[in-house]
Amino acid sequence: MSDLGFQLPAVIGFLAALGRLPGLLRNPHDPLLRAVVAFLLTTSGAFFLGAVPMIAKVNAATGVPNFSVPLGHAMLMASSGAGIVLIINWRGGPPASIRRATRRALGCYGAVGLALVGLFLLGEAPVERLRDFDTHYATTPYLREMTLLLLAAHTAAALVMYSLCRRWLREVTGELRVGLALMVTGHWCTVGHAVWTFAAVAARWAGTDCDFLSTHVARPLGRVASSLVICGFVLPLLAQRFAGPWRDWSGYRRLGPLARLLTGLTPATTTVRMPLFSCLGVRRLQRESNIHDGLLTLNPYFDLALRAAALDAALAGGADAEDAAAVADAAMVTAAVRALRADPERCVIAHTRALQDDPGGCRDLVRTSRALSRLPTAARPGLRVGGRSAADGSTP
């Protein structure tokens, strides 16, 4: 019997918690990290315990019919309290205020969890119910109160989380905004889950059978709600985790054309060999360093008049200021490389006593590198400066 709607989000949450665990071990007193790991673990636990196969296994292992019910309810309350604590710490504020709010949330939902277990122990539930415990025992003393307390506490947590996330949603952008939007939707679905469950329970009180509202409407809605909440939370974490390496890789790759153009311009003894498993950030820095060394070697060959003409041509062609500057830099660098290679004895360098003034270009290496592929079109091949083309970078 499979219940992937619960099991898959549980696995996602557990893996996300493992990913944050090394940071927590390094900074065990960080309240935000503690809240993150606690929320992920408790939410994953609530998912695992809510899956029908796990419900049956827990009941069979303990020998107590429906033992998984108070266990799952207590884990759900732990998840609700941890979620509120997480949002409190995530938003930030005065430390004293954060500590007070954290204590209130943990105290409240800890007490509710204990009350749910106590009500289950006081009630009688001899028949195992895997999917419809709430409606089957809707009129049983103590178990009835347990269901009402669970719905009230879970709905209150969802409304608090909805309100906090909705207010914060207006203040952020990017992947955090997307994550919060998913969480807002998920918490609103949680309220819907509680409403439909209560409707099914109330129908039992009225002497009618509307259990399908609980099993076929509320339960699937609960799966969707919880999945949206955990995905909305994990998304910013994943973005934060991979944003840095992605920027390093993207920058390293985009610098490739410029790095290859300048290869071999500096003495081989100045090139530093990178270890095979060097991180992307180090590789990008090394590539930038090599490019700067190559540009320093080319400096005596830079033709500022050619750059100015290429800049005017790019601007006239409709390019914005930054793209036009990158195209002009690419034209100037390409011409300088050809001039240097046409001067194998390095006569220009030997007779140059000082570097030229900063031409104002090559400040954005990535743009300049990308502009190399657009150079023939963007720099207007027909433009001539002093008998040479600004686009092809030919020298007299």
Burial of 95 (0-12, 13-18, 19+ CB in 10 A): exposed
Angle between helices 304-316 and 321-341 (to 10 degrees): 140
What tokens appear for 181 in the block?
A: 């939007």
Class of domain 4-245: mainly alpha
Evaluated on CA atoms 128, 130, 135, 141, the torsion sign reads: positive
**pLDDT for the residue numbered 360:** 46
Name 385's bridge partners: 388
For 310-324, the DSSP string reads HHHHHHHTT--HHHH
Outline where 273-320 has alpha helix (H).
280-298, 304-316
Query: Which amino acid is present at 318?
Result: G
What tokens appear for 364 in the block?
A: 């954005």
Predicted confidence (pLDDT) per residue in 316-359, tens digit: 888 888 888 888 888 888 888 888 888 777 777 655 555 565 55
Strands (E), the chain: 384-385, 388-389
Does pLDDT of 304 surpass 80? yes
Q: How confident is the model at residue 274 (pLDDT cuts 50, 70, 90)?
A: low
Contact 232, 182 (CB under 8 A): yes
CA angle at 186 for the pair 180 and 187, rounded to the nearest 5° = 90
d(CA 56, CA 130): 7
CA angle at 99 for the pair 30 and 81, rounded to the nearest 5° = 85
* 53-57, 135-139, 339-343, 389-393: segment of lowest average pLDDT: 389-393
Span 181-204, mean pLDDT? 93
Taking the CA atoms of the chain, what radius of gyration do you get in angstroms?
Answer: 32
**pLDDT for the residue numbered 393:** 41
Candidate ranges 146-155, 320-329, 338-347, 368-377; pick with highest mean pLDDT: 146-155
Does pLDDT of 384 surpass 70? no
Does pLDDT of 299 surpass 90? no
Does pLDDT of 121 surpass 90? yes
Q: Which residue has the higher pLDDT, 388 or 254?
A: 254
Span 388-394, mean pLDDT? 41
Percent of the residues in the chain that have a pLDDT greater than 70, as a whole number: 85
Contact 254, 370 (CB under 8 A): yes
Does pLDDT of 191 surpass 90? yes
Predicted confidence (pLDDT) per residue in 284-296, tens digit: 788 888 888 888 8
Q: Where are the domains of the chain?
A: 4-245, 260-389
d(CA 23, CA 343): 55
Predicted confidence (pLDDT) per residue in 9-54, tens digit: 888 888 888 888 888 888 888 888 888 899 889 988 988 888 888 9
